[in-house]
């Protein structure tokens, strides 16, 4: 079991729909947090004790700066949660290059870069007897690519593939990677797409319940949270 009490956790996307839920749940469990996002005022408005750091995670050098901020604030890094995302809607034949670039940078390149940046600190945690981890959310579209979401499905599938392969590498140095794939969740993500108009989604999963299930998976040392892990929440 992974004990989150006192664990130093970097939460990227702390002011998002799921990020806010993670922040409150982890604080209640006694984790020592570094909250990362683009807006300092929004981070402070969470009312969660901990260090804060701002920047655009898709920009070069920012993943390293986020990790450095966590280590500087708390002396170590035991876990990373990547709760940032961007979505676009529309036919595959009409998706622009700028939309493709934006989806790739946010959903795939950024968590890949963050994992690379965090690996030395997470490995140090493992060597000190900790149970370090990194969590990302590729979502149900990485299992079931969806018409009207082809580009989004593709970049999320790439994230899932990266975590699957990198997870086998990281296991050798004591770092656990966890990919969560909940179904459509009622956050603001779909209301602010990079491009296109969202369809009329049915009611989604409750963000708090999704975050609780994911944190339970972290504590239980799970290495994969497929869509079926969230079936009871529907």
Residue 1 in any domain: the answer is no
Residue 121 in any domain: the answer is yes
CA–CA distance, 232 with 127 (Å, rounded to integer): 36
Residue 2 in any domain: the answer is no
Residue 83 in any domain: the answer is yes
Nearest to 20 by CA among 83, 76, 98, 74: 83
| pTM of this structure | 0.97
Mean pLDDT of 32-61: 97
Give the model confidence (pLDDT) of 54-113 as tens digits: 999 999 999 999 999 999 999 999 999 999 999 999 999 999 999 999 999 999 999 999
DSSP summary character for residue 124: H
Q: How many domains does the chain have?
A: 1
Domain that includes residue 65, residue range: 8-233
Give the model confidence (pLDDT) of 129-145 as tens digits: 999 999 999 999 999 99
Asked whether residue 202 carries a pLDDT value surpassing 90, the answer given is no
Number of residues assigned to the chain: 234
Residue 50 in any domain: the answer is yes
CATH at 116: 3.40.50.720
Check if the beta carbon of residue 141 is closer than 8 Å to that of residue 149. Answer: yes
3-state secondary structure string across 146-210: CCCCHHHHHHHHHHHHHHHHHHHHHHCCCCEEEEECCCCECCCHHHCCCCCCCCCCCCCECHHHH
Residue 70 in any domain: the answer is yes
Mean of the per-residue pLDDT values of the chain: 97
Task: Tell me what pLDDT residue 107 has.
Answer: 98
Residue 61 in any domain: the answer is yes
């Amino acid at each position: 079991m992974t004990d989150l009490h006192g664990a130093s956790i970097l939460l990227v996307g702390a002011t998002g729909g799921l990020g806010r839920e993670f922040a409150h749940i982890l604080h209640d469990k006694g984790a020592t947090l570094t909250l990362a996002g683009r807006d300092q005022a929004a981070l402070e408005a969470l009312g969660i004790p901990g260090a804060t750091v701002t920047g655009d995670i898709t920009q070069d050098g920012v993943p390293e700066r986020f990790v450095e901020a966590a280590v500087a604030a708390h002396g170590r890094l035991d876990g990373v949660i990547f709760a940032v995302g961007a979505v676009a809607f529309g036919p595959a034949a009409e998706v622009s290059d700028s939309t493709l670039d934006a989806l790739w940078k946010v959903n795939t390149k950024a968590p890949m870069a963050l994992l690379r940046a965090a690996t030395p600190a997470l490995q140090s945690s493992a060597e000190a007897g900790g149970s370090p981890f990194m969590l990302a959310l590729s979502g149900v579209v990485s299992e079931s690519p969806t018409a009207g979401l082809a580009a989004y499905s593709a970049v999320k599938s790439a994230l899932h593939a990266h975590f699957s392969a990198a997870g086998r590498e990281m296991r050798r140095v004591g770092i656990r990677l966890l990919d969560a794939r909940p179904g459509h969740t009622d956050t603001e993500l779909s209301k602010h797409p990079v491009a296109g108009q969202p369809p009329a989604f049915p009611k989604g999963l409750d963000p708090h319940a999704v975050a609780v299930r994911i944190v339970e998976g972290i504590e239980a040392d799970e290495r994969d949270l497929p869509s079926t892990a969230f079936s009871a929440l529907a």
